Amino acid sequence: MAKKAVTMDKLVALCKARGIIFPGSEIYGGMGNTWDYGPVGVEIKNNLKRAWWKRFVQESENSYGVDAAILMNARVWEASGHTASFSDPKMDCRNCKSRHRADNLIEAHSKGKVNPDLMSNEEMEAYINEHHVCCPVCGKCDWTPIRTFNLMFETSRGVTDESQNKIYLRPETAQGEFVNFLNVQRTTRAKVPFGIAQVGKAFRNEITPGNFIFRTIEFEQMEHQWFCKEGTDSEYYAQFKAQAWQFLLDLGFDAEHLRFHDHDKLAHYAKEACDIQYEFPMGWNELNGIHNRTDYDLSRHQEYSGKSLAYVDPVTQERYIPYVIEYSIGADRLMLAVLSEAYDEETLENGEVRTVMHFHPAIAAYKAAVLPLQKNLAEPAKAILAKLKKHFSVTYDDAGSIGKRYRRQDEIGTPYCLTIDFTTLEDGTVTVRDRDSMEQTRMTPEQAIAFLTEKCTF
């Protein structure tokens, strides 16, 4: 299916108007690249995280969850390589003082035809000068040389200067999974191959071109590390590629809006690496990553901690450091993709245009809206609302015409509207309106609960 005419401006406006996502610290003039989820947005994001957890932990044969601390021993980041080399190539415009990533400037200037990942800093500088790549803010071409800044946010621990120690807000959740490898293996008695998953906040001092929640300085990651024996790693890498793809299809993504992108330049420890890209409103870009990280992470933590992280096979007694297949996806980036995939503007028979979010019902903030046709039907409507609330997240609306109320629910993607009318008083049934087909069916509240349970399961 061709991509719909959704723009970032339309999404941002809808999200703000309907309580999905607000600009961070808005009453103080905002804070660049931070966003706050509103009452509708937090439900959708929680549903995405739940769906991911269900698929990759609950339904997995041998995967376990952790919730590790955000603040970790600083040695963790030395072992992982983040202290030494987690940086972006940044350039300042001497004219307007705005700061930019050299790789982003090259990508935008070449319209994605030149891959800056394959260039050294010197080569990027040369490209920018030779091709007169100018500042996107003021239009001048007067750049400082490239400088690299570590992306980790620093803070310090301790109450006096003497005891101050530099620590970091974690830039990824993955290390909390690696350092707990043996804790999880011993307490669950898991046999390799097995997985450790985590959902949590990560922080990066990023310069971003402002694509809404695509790249922010504080975000959530959903990461899964699969520990396996060397030799089986490529098979599991292929398996995770397929599972990550299927997860997106099951959420309702059109396969034509997704594609695999193999990395042109592999990190020194990686054997295989790819992204799944999505066609975001601003163009194709990374949605998630799948990496064969070899035994690099556990070996480095073994070296830096001085503690053995070898696994002992209970049958053969063989000792080895497992290989890791990592599958990593940002919850906020997935949210942006889900929002843009769901967005639609439909012209109705009467010529009116309705904006509708076609979320998978399991992902929608509210599974149903209870709408009394008239205000004097509030009592039976609230009784039905209370019954439904025991099972799902449900909303209630009695303000304005029924048509306007349907439109409001369409805009936040509520899959079903239950209307309480005068027939409800006679036989106890309600009408259930389907968001996508707009067809209505009468059923009892009990039948509606069974119907919603079936339709809203992921």
Binding site for ligand GAP (CB under 6 A): 172, 174, 204, 206, 215-216, 219, 221, 223, 286-289, 326, 328-330, 332-333
- Strand order of the β-sheet with 394-396 is 394-396, 368-372, 416-420, 430-434, 440-443
259/391 with CB nearer ligand GAP: 259
Which CA distances in Å does 231 have to 132, 267, 320, 322?
Answer: 48, 20, 12, 10
Interior CA angle at 334 toward 329 and 336, to 5°?
145
Min dist CB 334 to ligand GAP, Å, is 7
Question: Closest distance between ligand GAP and the C-beta of residue 60, in Å?
Answer: 18
Give the nearest distance from C-beta 223 to ligand GAP in angstroms. Answer: 6
CB of 58 to ligand GAP, least distance (A): 21
Show the tokens assigned to 148: 């690299």
Provide, rounded to whole angstroms, the least separation between the CB of residue 408 and ligand GAP.
29
Residue nearest ligand GAP, Cβ-based: 330
Per-residue DSSP letters for 149-198?
Answer: EE-SPEEEESSSSTT-EEEEB-S-SHHHHHTTHHHHHHHHTPPSSEEEEE
Q: Which DSSP category does 141 fall into?
A: -
* Smallest separation (angstroms) from ligand GAP to the CB of 87: 13
Nearer to ligand GAP, 140 or 265 (CB): 265
Give whichever of 96 and 242 is closer to ligand GAP, judged by the CB atom: 242
Nearest residue (CB) to ligand GAP, 326 versus 397: 326
Structure tokens at 416: 């079903």
Vertex 345, ends 344 and 350: CA angle to 5°? Answer: 140
CB-nearer residue toward ligand GAP: 42 or 378: 42
Residue 445, helix vs strand vs coil: helix
Minimum Å gap between C-beta 336 and ligand GAP is 9
CB 206 to ligand GAP: min, Å: 5
CA dist 345 and 314 (Å) reads 58
Contact indicator for 366, 395 with CB cutoff of 8 Å: yes
The residue (of 105 and 417) whose beta carbon lies closer to ligand GAP is 105
Minimum Å gap between C-beta 261 and ligand GAP is 11
40 with 243: CB under 8 angstroms? no
Measured from the CB atom, is 206 or 344 closer to ligand GAP?
Answer: 206
Q: Which two tokens stand for residue 89?
A: 């190539």
Let me know: does 68 contact 179? Beta carbons within 8 Å.
Answer: yes
Burial of 206 (0-12, 13-18, 19+ CB in 10 A): middle
Question: Judged by CB, which is closer to ligand GAP: 287, or 448?
Answer: 287
Q: Which is nearer to ligand GAP, 43 or 172 (CB)?
A: 172
Buried/exposed code over 361-377 (b: 16+ C-beta within 10 A; e: otherwise):
bbbbbbbbbbbbbeeeb
